[in-house]
Chains A and B, each alone.
Chain A
Amino acid sequence: MKKIGVLALQGAIREHINQIEAVGCEAIAIKSADDLVGIDGLVLPGGESTTIRNLLDRFHLLEPIRHLAEQGLPMFGTCAGLILLAENIVGYEEPHLGVMKVTVERNSFGRQIDSFECDLPIPKLKRNVPAVFIRAPHIVSVEEHVEILAKHENRIVLARDRNFLGCSFHPELTKDITIMQYFVEMI
């Protein structure tokens, strides 16, 4: 059985664990570098990216995760997790992990009052998924080799770059497991 870690510093951890189990994999909460040993993939959940970054630094997780990312460990970032993965963040000089070849903008759909849900078509998978956007970022631009998997109002909201899957919205807040299944197939 594939073992998928969920970075468990802050945010929607339980929801991702439920989704991982729903696709028939084993889920492991990652709180320290020791927990990273032996995982086949890593989910970076939604939450507050500034908070998660802070805790990654303080508990010495940033470098070990970046190392695994560069070695090719599949990683799936939702919302704050996408911001952690991105190589560039609009308005910030430094990225966090900076491993996924995309530029993201934080809170780009507005404040909470502008947060929304919609039915999002994923052309490659030939189906729609329910997508919940909460103070969501979006992908402003991507390097040439990055595969754009979904757009909303002409903004990139789901993309894959090699071993990285980045998503603006929160599939984990719905019962739909399409995106998690797609991620598991990347492993």
Chain B
Amino acid sequence: MKQLGTERVKRGMAEMQKGGVIMDVVNAEQAKIAEAAGAVAVMALERVPSDIRKAGGVARMADPRIVEEVMNAVSIPVMAKARIGHIVEARVLEAMGVDYIDESEVLTPADEEFHLLKSDYTVPFVCGCRDLGEAARRIGEGASMLRTKGEPGTGNIVEAVRHIRQVNAQVRRVIGMNADELMTEAKILGAPYELLVEIKKLGRLPVVNFAAGGVATPADAALMMELGADGVFVGSGIFKSENPEKFARAIVEATTHYQDYKLIAEISKELGTPMKGIDIATLPAEERMQERGW
């Protein structure tokens, strides 16, 4: 009669976040700033990605105390990150009652071969993707929401742009294919065949796809919406900027009115310095988080 954690309930939660901004926070105070600025959810972390980058070593699930502190501080949904393939971190976050788990390449993977079987959980999951094959594999495992991987903690939008364009171009290609071409496409992409059939039928991905990994300014957020993202994750961008409160509000407004360029000009004025970015070309291959997972 009453069914918990169904596909519709899990995907539906992500549908409710559309057009919104999900912000990384590391404590209750930041969570409250994010909520007041209009975030649709917060991601509770021990460190934002740019600090994870600087700290080096193994990055793990946040201390449950931080997650709990954030959950108690706000009424909007709280997400938290588990390492790729770390069944127990995910189960712990689920047991704590977080609203969404990000199986995230920002943390050091626990398993280099297998991602979590996300359909097994009551809590919904979001996962990163760089192309349609990766997107479809994650949905196949039960992800209820996608995001671009981008290159986290760089403040550089170039990789997120590459990933959203790639996924959307491949979705368009699948929609335009003849039915008898889909199996070969599934083989080429490494994607479950049934999902390509579903994408062709729906004319879009069956779950929402947010932008993530490098959004540093209101114009970046609007750019990702323009390119077809359903919403935006902002990691280091907000609380590494000079005036987080103002910055957070500006990114929320730019995401809603992403085609109102006069407004974006207005809200971008006197925002202070955004986070300092990193040129991806200067990042050694082993430091690229997007290469984690498959």
Interface residues of A (CB under 8 A from B): 8-15, 31, 46-48, 50-51, 54-55, 58-59, 79-80, 106-107, 111-119, 132-135, 170, 173-174
Contact = CB atoms under 8 A, between A and B. Distances in A.
Interface string B1-44: 11111101100110111111000000000000001111111000
B228 to A, nearest CB: 13
Given A48-B76, A118-B2, A135-B99, A54 B18 contact: no
Given A10-B40, A47-B16, A106-B75, A118 B3 contact: yes
A134 B13 contact: yes
Given A114-B4, A116-B3, A55 B252 contact: yes
A13 B19 contact: yes
B119 to A, nearest CB: 15
Given A113-B123, A116-B2, 8 more contacts: A12-B15, A12-B16, A46-B15, A51-B20, A106-B75, A113-B99, A117-B3, A132-B12
B1 A135 contact: no
A10 B256 contact: yes
A170 B12 contact: yes
Given A10-B40, A47-B19, A132-B8, A111 B75 contact: no
Given A11-B18, A51-B39, A113 B4 contact: yes
Nearest to B263: A59
Nearest to B40: A48
Q: Which of A11, A58, A117, A173 has the most CB of B within 10 A?
A: A117
B102 interface: no
B97 interface: yes
Nearest to B6: A117
A6 B268 CA distance: 28
Given A12-B18, A48-B20, A135-B99, A174 B8 contact: yes
A46 B18 CA distance: 10
Contacts, number: 120
Contacts of B76: 48, 50-51
Contacts of B37: 54
Interface in B156-183: none
Given A47-B20, A51-B20, A135-B13, A117 B97 contact: no
A50 B74 CA distance: 11
A58 B253 contact: yes
A107 to B, nearest CB: 7
A80 B19 CA distance: 14
A173 B253 CA distance: 26
A51 B4 CA distance: 26
Contacts of A107: 75
21 contacts: A10-B256, A11-B15, A11-B18, A14-B18, A15-B15, A47-B17, A47-B19, A48-B17, A50-B35, A50-B38, A54-B38, A58-B253, A59-B256, A59-B257, A79-B16, A113-B97, A118-B1, A133-B9, A134-B9, A135-B16, A174-B8
A103 B233 CA distance: 33
B20 A111 contact: no
A55 B256 contact: yes
- Sorted nearest first, the 3 A-B pairs with minimum C-beta distance are A112-B99, A54-B38, A10-B19
B114 to A, nearest CB: 24
B94 interface: yes
A9 B19 contact: yes
Given A112-B99, A132-B8, A135-B99, A51 B16 contact: no
Given A47-B18, A106-B75, A113 B40 contact: no
B41 to A, nearest CB: 7
Nearest to B12: A173
A13 B41 CA distance: 18
